[in-house]
Copies of this chain bind each other. A is one copy, B any other.
Amino acid sequence: MPRFFMAGTNLAGGRAYIRGQDAEHVRVLRLRPGEDVVICDGAGKDYRCRIVSSLAGEVEAEVVEVVPCRGEPAADVTVYAGLPKGERADYLIQKCVEAGAKRIVFFECERCVARLDGRGVDKKLERFNRISQAAAEQSGRGIIPRVEYIHDYVEMLDSAVKAGACLFMYETGEDRSPLREAIEAAGDFSSISLITGPEGGFSPAEARLAKGAGAVLCSMGERIFRCETAPVVAVTAVMYARGEL
């Protein structure tokens, strides 16, 4: 069934009013009166609605049923990812949203090739958040995961370690836990941060800083993941451990 995200203000008295781009989307999908759509309020609730009328610019629908959105995982996972180049960032967002991340924070670090500055940040984030919304609609999520940007590495770490558990994926060094052990050792966390590097990985100094800040350095087995694959694998590991798969 087609899904739309819509703020609660358009849901009143058992009626839903779909306007703007979403109304256009209804038209493109050739949905007609009598057909059903799901409107998600972006806060974890799904409104199953039946289309009553469909005019240019406004679709009116009747709310048939209100249910908690089942596609929304209970685990609260934030991905912190060293900003990758070009399409890799788009891909990372799409797949992490499908996999169940609740928030994606890009940051800059030593070996980042991609850089964001000034006005570029706002434009990029707008685009990134549109990708997140599309992926959330398509995969049946109950929220639209926010995509953010933290320029400063230390500020990023400060934010990441505030979660119940904070795991830092690091490709080298002796002093690492296997990811599975780290997830299991973290126990019954209510939220978790998963930090992954850019194309060139993290520098030893960055790993030391992360460890000093309280993150657990983790290995992901003996294979080397691309920077856009590692966060998807890490989120999936958490979802598996948490019974969401």
Contacts and interface: CB of A to CB of B under 8 A. Distances in A.
A243 interface: yes
B245 A139 contact: no
A141 B225 CA distance: 11
A204 to B, nearest CB: 17
Interface in A63-96: 70-73, 95
Contact of A138 (B98, B139, B226, B243): B226
A178 B245 contact: yes
Interface stretch (A124-132, A151-159, A228-236): A228-236
A140 B236 CA distance: 21
Contacts of A27: none
B222 A245 contact: no
Contacts of A194: none
In which size bucket is the chain A interface? 20 to 34
Contacts of A229: 95, 98-99, 232
Contact of A71 (B95, B140, B223, B241): B223
A14 interface: no
Contacts of A70: 222
Contact of A232 (B179, B232, B241, B244): B232
A226 B98 contact: yes
Number of copies: 2
A240 B243 CA distance: 13
Nearest to A97: B223
A202 to B, nearest CB: 18
Contacts of A138: 224, 226
A237 interface: yes
B71 A222 contact: yes
30 contacts: A70-B222, A71-B222, A71-B223, A71-B224, A72-B222, A73-B221, A95-B232, A98-B223, A98-B226, A99-B223, A99-B233, A138-B224, A139-B224, A139-B226, A140-B223, A140-B224, A141-B223, A178-B243, A179-B245, A180-B245, A221-B244, A221-B245, A232-B233, A232-B236, A233-B236, A236-B236, A236-B237, A236-B240, A237-B245, A240-B240
